[in-house]
Homo-oligomer: A and B are copies of this chain.
């Protein structure tokens, strides 16, 4: 019944899988072998039915009466999300924000390796950030094509973000993590995710 190939799986479901994966990894770190949709739901503030239904899109990962083997479920989810491999990522913009992004250990730890950094500021080009040489944006297209890089992070000012995105997409990038506080217009086959801490704060002040 579950159909892994055709992309009829709701986006919202895909969005929860990384959360499940993160919680499962934590459980594994705590030395646990088995869990249940109920326990996972409690930890995440999500109903157990939703977790079961989400997982059921991809196959029967659990055992009735027992629950889910944590290591196995992690492995399966990584496969579904295609994070059972290392991804090479490009970073554009090495100002304050870009440098902070480059220094963040969490990317490498979880399979995303920053292999290139670009900036238009010639005073930054040639320097090294966390072992990655900063290149001129002029070389962006060539580098990304040659290395077949599919994922990029944008950490430039809002004014330049759309132009950078256009460059990246032209060079073959298909997934963009945008730290600039602006919406990007991209073709349907390109995915964008946004990180803007202020919008998160503004979402909470409503309730205060």
User: Is the beta-carbon distance between A183 and B23 smaller than 8 angstroms?
Assistant: yes
Contact A197:B200 (CB < 8 A) given known A44-B183, A87-B205, A205-B87: no
- Number of this chain's copies in the complex: 2
User: Is the beta-carbon distance between A203 and B18 smaller than 8 angstroms?
Assistant: yes
Using C-beta atoms within 8 Å of the partner chain, give the interface range for chain A: 35 or more
User: Is the beta-carbon distance between B198 and A15 smaller than 8 angstroms?
Assistant: no
Q: Give the interface segment out of A31-39, A76-84, A131-139.
A: A76-84
In the bound complex, residues from chain B placing their C-beta under 8 Å from that of A89 are: 201
Q: How far is the CB of A81 from the nearest CB of chain B, in Å?
A: 5
Q: Contacting A198 at CB < 8 Å: which of B110, B191, B194? A: B110
In the bound complex, residues from chain B placing their C-beta under 8 Å from that of A208 are: 82, 150-151, 174-175
In the bound complex, residues from chain B placing their C-beta under 8 Å from that of A104 are: 96-97, 100, 197
Residue interface bits A41-54, CB-to-B below 8 A is 1, else 0:
00111000000000
User: Is the beta-carbon distance between B17 and A202 smaller than 8 angstroms?
Assistant: yes
Q: How far is the CB of A10 from the nearest CB of chain B, in Å?
A: 12
Q: With A and B bound together, what is the CA distance between A123 and B205 in angstroms?
A: 33
Q: Contacting A185 at CB < 8 Å: which of B19, B43, B183, B200? A: B43
Is the C-beta of A167 less than 8 angstroms from some C-beta in chain B?
no
In the bound complex, residues from chain B placing their C-beta under 8 Å from that of A197 are: 101, 104, 106-107, 153, 177, 195
